[in-house]
A = this chain, B = another copy of it.
Amino acid sequence: MLPIRLAFAQTNPIVGDFAGNLEQIKSAALEASRTGIDLVIFGELALCGYPLGDLSYRRDIVASSEAALTELVGFSASIPNLTLLVGFARIASHENPAQSSKAIAHNSAAVIRGGVLLGRYDKQLLPNYDVFDDWRNFVPGDQELVIDVAGARVGIKICEDIWGEQKNPFGQDVDLIAVLNGSPYTFSKEAKRREAAKEYAAGVPIAYANLCGGQDELVFDGGSFVLDAAGAEIYRAGFAEGLFEAIEGELQTLTENEKIYQVLVCGLRDYLKKTRQSKLVLGLSGGIDSALCAAIAAAAIGPENVVGVAMPSRYSSDHSVQDAIAVAANLGIEFRTIPIEPAHSAFEKMLTLSPLAEENLQARLRAVILMGISNSEGRLLLTTGNKSEVAVGYSTIYGDSAGGFAPIKDLLKTDVWRISRYVNERAGKELIPLSSIEKPPSAELRPGQLDQDSLPDYEILDGIIRILIEQNQTTTQAIAAGYPEDLVLKTDSMIRAAEWKRSQGAIGTKLSEVSFGSGRRVPITTRFEAR
């Protein structure tokens, strides 16, 4: 049914690494050429990495993108039968005509064949919500592009172009619409992409190409796909780097839990790889959050590169240390124990602290230990807070929130439990100790302390956070959804009060539509009272 032989190149670019990104593109092109593919579609800005952010303002970076494209055009002379459709940035000939930005470049796609640059298309619809700053960073295009590939007419679009009010501008005059995307994973995003593509294409086959890999907080999850003229999915690539020929009937799928697990592992693995780091350290409290982070760490970089440190205090329970030992043993990571008592007593003699400050002190002494290991051994420190804690500020700043990457910062506590059970299920054995999953959560900063002394029950708390944060709804709507008024208002107030802590938090993999990252931009100083 497909009019041509088509492949997707799910490359994993690093922002600004023009040589490396070009190498990936050439390699995919050679493979496609060897197998007789007519058209290979790369992801959005595959040559530059995405998102570029304000680096798009720098003329040397945009010039490097253009130079790398020129090199690719030259290279393509050696594979004359293959058409390449590649995302890159180029200097715009005019400023953004409609509105006020400082952008100088287009977010573009180049059509290359046989040593010739056959055409360029500039992205028209520039998203300006969530993590997307395209309107800030790029100048919109206003010209359509249709190319001929092996006798088929192909209309070109880039990512957000297909998500707007305007639908397929080519009508039935094309045989295929090809879309280059830089589409990060969020929950259930795959179905939304297919729906958007079907609506947009309006009766024409459409090929949707995505990047694959982590870039800071984002994970591009591949999953390039083809819909036929009726909007039925006839091919879907997996969540993997590489070249994928669109073979009708091949649909690679993952369960939701497996997808989330792989996204979490990929986000951490690529952050390490792309920042040239290969070793990790994290604190192991015996609790579920650090246990899940350790499992993700071991999967991302290999257990031999992970150190887990138990740092018991006078308030730590025996079962906590036992659970920490167990998770390290189950995963095969290195385990160390460093009791904090000597430092704890030293500070007690130096300072007079309030009870709450005394709790924070313990968390900060642990951060001093972990950062000492981090700095001495060149190990990135993971911070293990989950989204429920990050939302309400249930953490010690410069204490347990210290770290360069936060693997589960966008996973609510109830999801932490679910994914932890799944980690064991997929391994077919207990990696994360069942007791860590089943015991009542506690920070163990004072005798007998439990999270639920300070916080609503996690089932309730997470439901409220979903409404207020992930759906941008109001406290009135949360109450109407059945949550107790006092808990809704308390949660809303805690979220606001934690804004300053979050503003200093580590980045971590985005999973939800509204994560605590660059896609959520609210003032630290605000006094809105919801009711």
Contact = CB atoms under 8 A, between A and B. Distances in A.
Given A59-B474, A398-B398, A521-B54, A14 B526 contact: yes
A369 to B, nearest CB: 6
A404 interface: yes
B375 A351 contact: no
B364 A351 contact: no
Interface string A81-117: 0000000000000000011111000000000000000
A372 B398 contact: no
Contacts of A527: 14-17, 20, 274
A306 interface: no
A135 interface: yes
Interface residues of A, number: 95
A518 B364 CA distance: 27
Contact of A14 (B60, B216, B525): B525
A60 B488 CA distance: 15
A26 B475 CA distance: 29
Contact of A135 (B128, B346, B375, B523): B128
A414 to B, nearest CB: 24
Nearest to A57: B472
Contact of A125 (B100, B164, B271): B100
A465 to B, nearest CB: 15
A127 B98 contact: no
B525 A275 contact: yes
A14 B215 CA distance: 35
Contacts of A520: 54
A385 interface: no
Interface stretch (A223-231, A278-286, A355-363, A417-425): A355-363
A330 to B, nearest CB: 26
Nearest to A475: B60
A58 interface: yes
A353 interface: yes
A505 interface: yes
B52 A135 contact: no
A164 B100 CA distance: 7
Given A472-B57, A530-B60, A521 B518 contact: yes
B368 A364 contact: yes
A79 interface: no
Contacts of A53: 521-523
Given A351-B369, A357-B372, A55 B526 contact: yes
A160 interface: yes
A376 B364 contact: no
Interface in A34-64: 49, 51-55, 57-61, 64
A172 to B, nearest CB: 26
Contacts of A1: none
Interface string A1-42: 000000000000011111010000000000000000000000
Interface in A326-370: 338, 340, 342-343, 345-347, 349-354, 356-357, 360-361, 364-365, 367-369
A354 B374 CA distance: 10
A249 B371 CA distance: 60
A130 B100 CA distance: 11
B215 A523 contact: yes
B528 A15 contact: yes
A5 to B, nearest CB: 33
A49 B530 CA distance: 16
A404 B500 contact: yes
Contacts of A252: none
A348 B162 CA distance: 59
Nearest to A102: B129
Contacts of A57: 472
Nearest to A124: B99
Nearest to A338: B350
A129 B53 CA distance: 11
A499 to B, nearest CB: 10
Contacts of A350: 338, 340, 342-343, 369
A179 interface: no
A524 interface: yes
A371 B398 contact: yes
Nearest first, the 3 closest Cβ-Cβ pairs linking A and B are A16-B528, A357-B375, A17-B527
28 contacts: A14-B527, A15-B527, A16-B529, A49-B526, A51-B523, A52-B523, A53-B522, A55-B528, A99-B126, A100-B160, A102-B130, A215-B525, A216-B523, A216-B524, A216-B525, A338-B350, A342-B349, A346-B346, A347-B369, A352-B376, A360-B371, A360-B372, A360-B375, A368-B368, A398-B402, A404-B500, A504-B504, A504-B505
